[in-house]
Structure 1
Amino acid sequence: MYAKKLIKLLEKHVKLHKGLLELAKKKTEALKKGDMEALSEMMKEEQTYIAAINQVERERIRVVEAMVGKEDERTLTACMERVDEPERSALERLRDNLAAVVAELKNVNELNQQLLQQSLQFVNMTLDMIMPQPKEVNYRKPNMAPSSYEGSRSLFDSKA
């Protein structure tokens, strides 16, 4: 009885993670195009996936605790040891599918992170080229180190 519930929950996990993976791939394309509106919408949709995954995970923990008890090791491997063959092979297959999807999702998210960092570096470089370099405002001795505020960039340029 618990094995069938666990199988259904793992199937939901795989399905939700595949949806999250497809969304991450769409985010990659939006990042390449610089489409911030689409990216914002995708981030909202991503939050609904994450909430659903968290709910399924809480249910999975309850089922695993019911199968193996709270004192024993609460892993999928421990659950597979307690079930018979048709369910065991289904659990192994789902475990492998989930691991593969999560690994691919991790790779796509790392790519997205690199794209975001490159975009941020480009923006900073552009700002450095556009913004005037700070001039020496205060007198200081030639061998004194510059103060901490001199290297900072400000978008507010005023003259007193």
Structure 2
Amino acid sequence: MVEQLIQIFQAMTVVHERFNEQAARKEEVIKKGDMPGLEQVMKEESPLIQQLRKLENTRQRLVQEWLEQKGIIKEDITMDKLIPLFPEKEREDLQYWQQRLMTEIHKLKDQNELNEQLLEDSLRFVNLSLDAMSPQNQFAGYGGDGSNDDGEDFGPGGRSLFDSKA
């Protein structure tokens, strides 16, 4: 059982390493503004998500079976609480792979936060660009600050009375 658990941690680590590679690719396509490239990277992540889901389900099943064999009845036991229950050699291997996996998970979390910030910045830039390109209803040079003091020439829609149909 312990060997299977170690193999699962190894496989999960490899999957997270691939996720980290994809996250770095995402950063590059986001910086370039390459939306088709971003879609492609996200499509390539889909099988990784499925693989990780299967590995996690197998890990949970193995841990539950092992706990039942040992007569331990606990819900939601963490690996930190479980590892000390193994013999020393197996414990060292499990701790090593657990630590490698956690390192990859933290790298992925940091990269995803960076990518999220880059996307938010890109959206802000697009919105600012759209706002700058949209027509303004103010006439600079008339009325000092562009406002219409008497309010008679422009209706609620901002159109001049001279633009209305006769």
Q: Give the drift of 1:79.
A: 2.9
Deviations 1:78-123 (A, max 9, x none): 3322221221101000111111111111110011001001100010
Determine whether 1:121 maps to 2:124. Answer: yes
Determine whether 1:107 maps to 2:110. Answer: yes
Q: Give the drift of 1:67.
A: 1.5
Determine whether 1:19 maps to 2:21. Answer: no
Matched AA of 1:138: P
Deviates most, 94-103 or 127-136: 127-136
Number of aligned pairs? 141
Among 89, 96, 99, which residue is 2:99 paired with?
Answer: 96
The 1:9–1:137 alpha-carbon spacing in structure 2 relative to 1, beyond 3 Å, is: farther
Matched AA of 2:46: Q
Cα distance between partner residues in 2 of 1:36 and 1:122: 15
Cα distance between partner residues in 1 of 2:100 and 2:155: 62
Among 62, 74, 77, which residue is 2:80 paired with?
Answer: 77
Deviations 1:19-47 (A, max 9, x none): 00110001101111112221111001112
Q: Runs of 4+ in structure 1 displaced over 3 angstroms?
A: 133-137
Matched AA of 2:73: E
Cα distance between partner residues in 2 of 1:41 and 1:120: 20
Q: What runs of 5+ residues in structure 2 fail to find an aligned partner?
A: 139-153, 159-163
Match of 2:144 in 1: none
Matched AA of 1:104: K
The 1:129–1:61 alpha-carbon spacing in structure 2 relative to 1, beyond 3 Å, is: same
Cα distance between partner residues in 1 of 2:137 and 2:93: 65
Of all paired residues, the percent bearing the same amino acid is: 33
Rg: which structure is higher?
A: 2
Match of 1:44 in 2: 43
Determine whether 1:138 maps to 2:138. Answer: no
Cα distance between partner residues in 2 of 1:17 and 1:91: 17
Q: Give the drift of 1:137.
A: 4.7
Match of 2:151 in 1: none
TM-score, normalization by structure 2? 0.77
Deviations 1:48-69 (A, max 9, x none): 1111111100000000111123
TM-score, normalization by structure 1? 0.80
Matched AA of 2:101: L
Q: Give the drift of 1:133.
A: 3.6
Tell me the SS of whatever aligns to 1:71.
coil
Tell me the SS of whatever aligns to 1:100.
helix
